[in-house]
Structure 1
């Protein structure tokens, strides 16, 4: 299976491993008895990545231990369709995002105008999608997909989710008071789990490092981190280290300015009680 998010992720890791070993694609091809074009097709996911080919590459690179087993597992799993690839025609941007969520060890979500997608209720998500113009006949499917994506927070080895939420997102009554109350209650319940933290960026601080735009920072452990930028009906990944470093810097700045966990909980509770009162 070529040119899928998982294939591209493995191809990127194989390129990085070759580079770390100090070999050019031509030198690797010569050592394997392959053409340079074959190595190029594998490293760009333009050719189906076979387990035996990955084994051969790792043998030449001298990779052993946990890193070797991890890459071989990626190669074995690459031929098994993921749940989001079964019977669905999803945009490439969305499948890439889901794949990143599935593989991430830590996800840092910086949100401005809406509450984090991985913590949204069905009704809140539906309201946002309706307002953004998602076709009516596709909304149910998209809402369900977002709910299933949240499973990464409760699987056996769950991802760690860190959210920085601009207080503005709580002042906008998306869906009305009842929807907002249910949504805030879900977030308050979520932060009781050890792998989920939410910090609120209070209105009182004025300008802050997140105002340049919403972004999600994915950290995978061994593979280098990437940043996902979402725009209307589209999105893009950034993986150049110098560019990604700018977002790590933004997160550090937000950590300095956001309310601490206890104060953030108090802000969430304040808005919950406000919307509960309005919903009566």
Structure 2
């Protein structure tokens, strides 16, 4: 049985199955008929309103022509739908990206806290390349990751995109990934984004002193489903969906907003920082 939460794995699987069906060119009626179930049942599966038996998921993947590592991962997801948390390490981190992009697209409000690097949704291509290069990711792998990041950023430009709040520690802006020119360009990019009606960028300056630092996280809030938190560290990243965890991160986000500069002061702060980089 599902508790009073809606597990992140279940929601991610629902999004994946819906996308795969659309890519196969089938509507829900035809796809349901292929596996011997009802259209209503498949609709509930694609809306994360029922736990799908793994045999049903395997049948759908066969109908959609999904094989190899993608099939293996989705079946593993289906086997652990009601797990308390969804954390991945090492080479398994890419499995989180489709779900992350899906939640970004569905969110009504997205709050993002970053203490060391510019959040992915706000990175310029040059900054993203410099960041990947620092992790020894180069060549075609780097370009593929940059392209994927830029694709995710389109959600902020969508008419139905989320209200986005980014809270950045000043350290994010002081570490010059790519050098002064890249950082000046990145900060001007942030200034431009800060002036968009659905975006709010806030900086916590060093002069405000210390504060409780929860590490990099994103809080997703939706119109009709429970919130989800995405946490990211060097070693482990993933999703939390337990109500007590959500409440904890909502409180942390509220405290971070209070210690940060306001919107107008942040733009002035960013303008001065960009000028500093341009002079150097």
TM-score, scaled relative to structure 2: 0.70
Unaligned runs of 5+ in 2: 1-8, 18-34, 50-56, 61-65, 71-92
Shift of 1:172: 1.0
- Of residues 148-157 and 90-99 in structure 1, the stretch that sits farther from structure 2 once superposed is 90-99
Matching residue of 1:173: 176
Q: Distance in 1 between matches of 2:235 and 2:128?
A: 15
After superposition, the Cα gap between the structure-2 partners of 1:123 and 1:246, relative to the gap in structure 1 and judged at 3 Å, is same
Asked whether the equivalents of residues 115 and 169 of structure 1 are also in contact (C-alpha less than 8 Å), the reply is yes
Cα distance, 1:262 vs structure 2:
1.3
**8 Å contact 1:5–1:99 — kept in the other structure?**
no
1:254 corresponds to which residue? Answer: 256
State the match for 2:140 in structure 1: 137
1:53 aligns with 2:61: no
Q: Which has the higher contact order (CA 8 A, sep 6+)?
A: 2
Q: 1:91 to 1:270 in 2, by over 3 A?
A: same
Partner of 1:148: 151
- SS of 1:199's equivalent in the other structure is strand
TM-score of the aligned structures, taking structure 1 as reference length: 0.70
* CA displacement 1:113-142 (0-9 Å, x = unmatched): 111211110010011111123354311000
1:25-80 CA-to-partner distances (Å, cap 9, x unmatched) read xxxxxxxxxxxxxxxxxxxxxx999642156x79xxxxxxxxxxx779xxxxx99x
1:87-106 deviations in whole A, cap 9, x for unaligned?
x9792111111111111111
State the secondary structure of the residue aligned to 1:251.
helix
- Could you say which residue in structure 2 is the equivalent of 1:75? none
Q: Name 2:122's counterpart in structure 1.
A: 119
Q: Note the C-alpha offset of 1:169.
A: 0.9
Q: How many corresponding residue pairs?
A: 220
Aligned to 1:65: none
Change (3 A) 1:177 1:100: same
Q: 1:225-264: per-residue Cα shift (whole Å, max 9, x none)? A: 0110112375210000101111110111112111111111
Closer, same or farther in 2 for the Cα pair 1:5/1:223, shift >3 Å?
closer
Report if aligned partners of 2:15, 2:102 keep a CA contact under 8 Å in 1.
no
Q: Aligned partners of 2:101 and 2:39: how far apart in 1?
A: 23
Does the aligned pair in 1 maintain the 2:14–2:48 contact within 8 Å? no
Q: Which has the larger radius of gyration?
A: 1
Cα RMSD (Å): 3.4
Whole-Å Cα distance in 2 between the matches of residues 203 and 268 of structure 1?
13
1:228 counterpart = 2:230: yes
1:29 aligns to what?
none
Q: Which one of 273, 276, 279 corresponds to residue 274 of structure 1?
A: 276
Provide the C-alpha distance between the structure 2 equivalents of 1:101 and 1:234, rounded to a whole number of angstroms: 20
What is the Cα deviation at residue 8 of structure 1? 4.1
In the aligned structure 1, how far is the partner of 2:14 from the partner of 2:41? 15
Structure 2 equivalent of residue 93 of structure 1: 96
